[in-house]
Amino acid sequence: MRILSQRDVRDVVGAEDAFATVEAAWREYGRYRALSSVPPSLGLAGPADGAATHRVKGAVSPTLGAAGFRIATYPGSGPVDRRHVHLVLDYVTGEVVGLVDEEWLHGLRAATQAVVAAARLARRDAKVVGIVGAGRIARELFPGLALRFPLEDVRVAAVPRDNADAYARDLSATGVPVRAVASAEEAIRGADIVVTITTAKAPMVEPGWLAPGALLVSLGGVHEVRHAVLAECDRFVVDDFDYALSRGDMGAWVSAGETTPEALRQRLDADIGEIVAGLKPGRQGPDERILAIIQGLAACDVAMAKLALDRAAEQGRGTVAELPVMP
């Protein structure tokens, strides 16, 4: 098995590799459907006070010949801050292929999903982007968005404001036309593409803010978008419907009694896998408002981890260890 550190992964995986890999994983999901574990996410928490909690997501990729389990650990009272690792196995034989530090790769995957969604659902002439949230995932939206759209104005809002200022300063140094703004409303109004990726305690996308023709991509695992915004949108797209029901906006809407899983399924126009696979249309008109809730497909995680392992093997990166075979 090959073991990759975060530095190994950063050195062998690029933005365009990530785009092609996420797109291929969604295409595969659109065609084969049953790629994720059942249930799609498993939570683990010990009985001790202050113990870390863990979340496991699994998926297979027949095309890549890989299966994988992503393990996310969140801090208790101990020294661990947060950890993401991915265990990759051979899809056919079950042999362990590698263990990948996924802390940075997870952020790249999440941001790349927004870029792939925008490539299919936003207007091709999109010039204005509004970003709400300035954390590690938001930083990975570029250069992907800038390579695909003729961007003239990128606005970022975050709490605290200092985070938005730092984001604008750092991204501006790379040539992205980004500026910090004072509020989510200022970032969103008039934007062609809106991406939310926050840990907000309350929704920050309100009805009446989305311009005609806007695409809103909600990535956060918290409640970011008011339910009433859905009624203003012409199209509604998700990635994994069942997983999206367990968290984020859809989970919050259902928990608050604002809608039901059945009503959301009836309202759904497509999942992004169907669109990438060509089974359902993407954007159909310049004035369509589209809401895409993208909570993270485990098949994209295993595909990204396999990409990192393949690139590392080509370049001789990482640590190779032999697992003993029992007689």
Which three-class secondary structure string do you get for 149-218?
CCCCEEEEECCCHHHHHHHHHHHHCCCCCEEECCCHHHHHCCCCEEEECCCCCCCCECCCCCCCCCEEEE
Confidence (pLDDT) at 327? 64
The 10 Å CB-count burial string (b at 16+, else e) for 207-228 is eebbeebbbbbbbbbbbbbbbe
Identity of the amino acid at 110 = A
Supply φ then ψ for residue 146, to 5 degrees: -65, -25
269 exposure class (CB count in 10 Å sphere: 0-12, 13-18, 19+): middle
- Closest C-alpha among 161, 70, 146, 67 to residue 107: 70
Q: Is 51 exposed, middle or buried (0-12, 13-18, 19+ CB in 10 A)?
A: middle
CA 293, CA 145: separation in Å to the nearest integer? 18
Write down the pLDDT at residue 140: 96
- pLDDT tens for the chain, residues 1 to 327: 999 999 999 999 999 999 999 999 999 999 887 688 888 788 887 777 777 888 898 999 988 999 999 998 887 765 556 789 999 999 999 999 999 999 999 999 999 999 999 999 999 999 999 999 999 999 999 999 999 999 999 999 999 999 999 999 999 999 999 999 999 999 999 999 999 999 999 999 999 999 999 999 999 989 999 999 999 999 999 998 988 998 899 999 999 999 999 999 999 999 999 999 999 999 999 999 999 999 988 899 999 999 999 999 999 999 999 877 666
Q: Are 76 and 104 within 8 A, CB to CB?
A: no
Spatial neighbors of 238 by CB under 8 A, at least 6 apart, are 244, 250, 268, 271, 272, 292, 293, 294, 295
